[in-house]
Homo-oligomer: A and B are copies of this chain.
Amino acid sequence: MAIPNRLQNTAKGMLNRARRLGLPVQGAERLGERLEPLAIKHLSRYVIPFVRRSGVHVNELEPGRVVCTMPLKGNVNHIGTMYAGALFTLAEFPGGPLMLATFGMKRFIPIVTALDLEFVKAAKTDVSVELTLTPDEAKRIEAETLAHGQAEFELRGELKDANGEVVARSRALYQMRPRRR
């Protein structure tokens, strides 16, 4: 899970510094809110070195939906197809940006409790995955987490090669918890 705490802290630090300098920060705060999704999209992969090294990329991000791509280059196995661990990272990592974009950065912490991967065929190109969370499911997760201190949910993904063929299927189980104040 890539929750850019460091990004958030960096942004907070910049705002605090601006306040100490007596600068008008209200505009900056509003700007920060507008830049947050953009920051998540472009910077979340830098938060976990293992993820950054893989070269995975967030293509599209909005509340309830994320699309990521793992390059074949640098991620081949001994027979030149995509290494299973790169497929795992592609299945796991996007859940972080998706939940940040859906629930915001401040209220909840998602914890991955299991991830099952089925390898369908060898991947000989870059591989992409789209993960979605319906508004109803997002509302249920939010309500249960607030009411009971936790909520369980799953994300299923189809990992597809450049020709649209499924190379792997993933099922990730998560537990959502409130962020400690």
Q: How many residues on A have C-beta within 8 angstroms of the other chain's C-beta atoms?
A: 37
Interface SS, A side: mixed
In the complex, what residue of chain B is closest to A117 when comparing beta carbons? B115
In the complex, what residue of chain B is closest to A119 when comparing beta carbons? B113
A47 contacts across to B, CB distance below 8 A: 78
Residue A27 at the chain B interface, CB threshold 8 Å:
no
Q: Bound state CA distance, A180 and B48, in angstroms?
A: 40
Q: Bound state CA distance, A84 and B90, in angstroms?
A: 12
Q: Is the pair B78, A49 in contact by a Cβ cutoff of 8 Å? A: no
- Rounded to whole Å, the gap between the CB of A36 and the closest CB of chain B is 16
Partner-contacting stretch, out of A17-25, A57-65, A69-77 = A69-77
Q: Is the pair A48, B83 in contact by a Cβ cutoff of 8 Å? A: yes
A54 contacts across to B, CB distance below 8 A: 50, 85
Q: Bound state CA distance, A48 and B74, in angstroms?
A: 9
- Rounded to whole Å, the gap between the CB of A148 and the closest CB of chain B is 21
Q: Is the pair B119, A117 in contact by a Cβ cutoff of 8 Å? A: no
Q: Is the pair A78, B3 in contact by a Cβ cutoff of 8 Å? A: yes
Q: Is the pair B117, A78 in contact by a Cβ cutoff of 8 Å? A: no
Q: Is the pair A6, B78 in contact by a Cβ cutoff of 8 Å? A: yes
Q: Bound state CA distance, A96 and B84, in angstroms?
A: 12
8 cross-chain pairs, A with B, having the tightest CB-CB distances, nearest first: A116-B116, A88-B88, A85-B89, A50-B83, A114-B118, A47-B78, A3-B78, A48-B77
Q: A4-B78, A51-B85, A116-B116 are in contact. List 8 more A-B contacts (CB 8 A).
A: A49-B74, A49-B75, A50-B83, A50-B86, A54-B85, A85-B92, A88-B88, A88-B89
